[in-house]
Amino acid sequence: MTQSITIRFIKANMIAESLFGLAVFICRYIIGEFLNDVQYLEYLMEDSEIEFHIEFAVPGMLN
């Protein structure tokens, strides 16, 4: 029971981080300051790749 709650919490946390990242991306796109779009897209891709590995590594460790 605790394991499934942990997995749900991690997935919910990743969804929240993804939504926050999307909001930041939209703000940066509108403002157009600090980073250019290509650099920030690469930054987002790095984050999503890390989250992808976490999502699939944790259930494997619990089993």
Do 10 and 59 form a contact (C-beta atoms < 8 A)?
no
Segments making up each domain of the chain, as ranges: 2-62
pLDDT in tens, 33-60: 555 555 666 666 665 544 444 444 455 4
pLDDT tops 60 at residue 19: yes
Read off the pTM.
Answer: 0.31
55 touches 14 (CB < 8 A): yes
Would you state the structure tokens that stand for residue 28, as one six-digit string? 């940066």
